[in-house]
Structure 1
Amino acid sequence: MNPAQGMAVVVCEYCGAVTTMGAAGAQLFQKHFMLDNRIQNDQALQLGGEWLNKGVFRRKVAERSELGQVTMKYVPYWIIPTSVVADFQGTRGTGAGMAVHGDTGAQKAAGAAVFALNVLAAANRAQQQRGRVTAAPAQPQVIRVRDRIQLQFNIPIVAVRGYTKFQPDDGFQFQIQNKMGFDKRKAGGLEVMSGDISEAEGKQQAAALAHKFAEKEAKKRVDTLESIQVYPTTSDGELLHAPVWFMEYAHKGKSMYILIDGHGSKVMDGERPAFALW
């Protein structure tokens, strides 16, 4: 084993043993697991295509996209058990804002489109009722909300610096109940990556993601989120080598990607156009 400078997680290319590099020197890491790959190339392409076409405002995105490179490798992730307590306050019943707010650009764009359609429908109704005497519509009642959220996650943190596209950030979790002891022979000759992010750094990143997940959950419970205080607690993690498919594609000249969990057969993360109706 010949660890390169800066490496924090080193996988022996012969036996697959994992060594962590820290202030105390090299130490053999005991909590090392893996998941087996359960899909082939054609299944990965099908999963990616279905995900691309999912949504009211996306039509035949997969069919109109140009497929690039498709790779599958075993990527190391720190699985960090994280408990979250969050106190938040906001309002419900605030009318138009309900149609527009969202967590992602796609959700906000879709919400804006729905809002525009609602405005158009209201204008049509007003034109039809012109000349009639009608009572003013009742204003929505605004309800103030103060509540506490308690959540539990096994947050995966990619252990390879610079692999930002391999970092799911929308609450994805691996099926760690199916994990098995790491054995490089079970990787089927595929690349097994080493890492350069320590467990301590992984815990810091997990705590940061916990804030995002708590805020997302709070926004489901109110129409306008006014404030939130998040208190994450991370526990000692374990190292998991997961089979990950990385698919590159281009849509209307723009390069995008899809990340697929080869064990759970589902999309982990990716990029897709918010609107693609033609």
Structure 2
Amino acid sequence: MVAAVAENIRCSHCGAPVEFKPGEIIATCKYCGFTTVIETGQAFNFEHSILPNKYSPEQIEGLVRDWMRSGFMKPGDLAKKSKITEKTLIYLPFWVVSVEATTKYKGIFERIAPPIVKEGQIQKEYNWLVLARQASNFPTHEYDVPLAGKVPYDFRKIEGFAKVLNSEVERDQALELARQQIDAHHRFLLQQDVDRIVEASTTVNLKQMVYLHAPVWFIKYEYKGNLYQMIVDGAQGMVLRGDIPNSKF
């Protein structure tokens, strides 16, 4: 597989080269932090925030070891016998879509005889997270973004060893993805009330959208000759996903 070749434009703020890859829509200058819409070269006019990373590589390794020691499903010697082979900090781009969503529905409750028709609505508020990358299996729904900790984007807060990814998803596309995902989520919740949905209509009232870079640590470790992966939130230290070796009881 041939890797995508990086291109660049000149930052309209400081004149430095801003690298981007095919498919990326919004790019941020690593020298001054200015964010640009690649197609037009114009300034990005929406709020751009960052969640600061709070953990050094050594502290992240400590969190990983603590995770390995906890939980009865893990091998007892996991923390002792594992070798951490890679610790990569990446600032991932997200759209945080703050909405009030209402789904009005009509369905049939078939768990009793005779079945009955039920009508009602689900109304919830969300800070819905949309990863601004096209191809990824990142566990977005497990990531509770600590929005209270966000600050205006500042390139000086980016560690020299960290990577910053550009966005491949524009604002309107992110909003539409959020609408679709919220509708699917509400239809899933409806299964608690009805066995068969006759009709359902979801209305999404947008309150705010924020473009956000969040620190995520990607960890690889070796245990008894096999490689495993972990994803750790760099803002709160929470393990978002962790591969667990098979344990023999």
The structure 2 residue matched to 1:153, chosen from 126, 143, 151, is 126
Higher percent of residues as strand: 2
Higher RCO by CA contacts (8 Å cutoff, separation 6 or greater): 1
Assess if the C-alpha contact under 8 Å between 2:97 and 2:128 holds in 1: yes
Assess if the C-alpha contact under 8 Å between 1:157 and 1:167 holds in 2: no
% same residue: 21
The structure 2 residue matched to 1:264, chosen from 224, 228, 236, is 236
The structure 1 residue matched to 2:166, chosen from 194, 210, 229, is 194
Q: Say if 1:72 and 1:90 are closer, same or farther in 2 by CA, change over 3 A.
A: farther
Amino acid at match of 1:176: L
CA distance, structure 1, for counterparts of residue 24 and residue 187 of structure 2: 33
Cα deviation digits, residues 120-165 of structure 1 (max 9, x gap): xxxxxxxxxxxxxxxxxxxxxx998654221111122222332x13
Assess if the C-alpha contact under 8 Å between 2:75 and 2:246 holds in 1: no
CA distance, structure 2, for counterparts of residue 258 and residue 194 of structure 1: 22
In structure 1, what is the equivalent of residue 42 of structure 2? 27
Bigger radius of gyration: 1
Q: Say if 1:41 and 1:55 are closer, same or farther in 2 by CA, change over 3 A.
A: same
In structure 2, what is the equivalent of residue 41 of structure 1? 57
Amino acid at match of 2:126: F
The structure 2 residue matched to 1:210, chosen from 182, 189, 210, is 182
CA distance, structure 2, for counterparts of residue 177 and residue 193 of structure 1: 22
After TM superposition, give the deviation of residue 210 of structure 1 in Å.
Answer: 1.4
After TM superposition, give the deviation of residue 225 of structure 1 in Å.
Answer: 4.2
Give TM-score, length-normalised by structure 1.
0.64
After TM superposition, give the deviation of residue 13 of structure 1 in Å.
Answer: 2.4
CA distance, structure 1, for counterparts of residue 109 and residue 124 of structure 2: 21
Q: Say if 1:72 and 1:87 are closer, same or farther in 2 by CA, change over 3 A.
A: same
After TM superposition, give the deviation of residue 174 of structure 1 in Å.
Answer: 0.8
Higher percent of residues as helix: 1
Cα deviation digits, residues 90-115 of structure 1 (max 9, x gap): 65988xxxxxxxxxxxxxxxxxxxxx
* Secondary structure in structure 2 of the residue aligned to 1:194: coil
Q: Say if 1:255 and 1:214 are closer, same or farther in 2 by CA, change over 3 A.
A: farther
Assess if the C-alpha contact under 8 Å between 2:74 and 2:244 holds in 1: no
In structure 1, what is the equivalent of residue 5 of structure 2? none
Assess if the C-alpha contact under 8 Å between 1:36 and 1:242 holds in 2: yes
Q: Say if 1:207 and 1:50 are closer, same or farther in 2 by CA, change over 3 A.
A: farther
Q: CA RMSD in A?
A: 3.8
Assess if the C-alpha contact under 8 Å between 2:231 and 2:242 holds in 1: no
Matches within 5 A, 1:105-120: none
After TM superposition, give the deviation of residue 41 of structure 1 in Å.
Answer: 3.0
Amino acid at match of 2:42: Q
Amino acid at match of 2:102: V
The structure 1 residue matched to 2:75, chosen from 55, 60, 64, is 60
Assess if the C-alpha contact under 8 Å between 2:129 and 2:141 holds in 1: no
CA distance, structure 2, for counterparts of residue 144 and residue 62 of structure 1: 55
Matches within 5 A, 1:150-189: 150-162=123-135, 164-170=136-142, 172-189=143-160
CA distance, structure 2, for counterparts of residue 144 and residue 61 of structure 1: 52
Q: 231-240 or 257-266, which moves further after superposition?
A: 231-240
Amino acid at match of 1:33: S
Assess if the C-alpha contact under 8 Å between 2:110 and 2:195 holds in 1: no
Cα deviation digits, residues 190-225 of structure 1 (max 9, x gap): 222222221122122222321343245445x45x74
Assess if the C-alpha contact under 8 Å between 2:82 and 2:221 holds in 1: yes
Amino acid at match of 1:151: K
Amino acid at match of 1:186: K
Q: Say if 1:14 and 1:249 are closer, same or farther in 2 by CA, change over 3 A.
A: same
Q: 196-205 or 209-218, which moves further after superposition?
A: 209-218
Q: Say if 1:42 and 1:13 are closer, same or farther in 2 by CA, change over 3 A.
A: closer
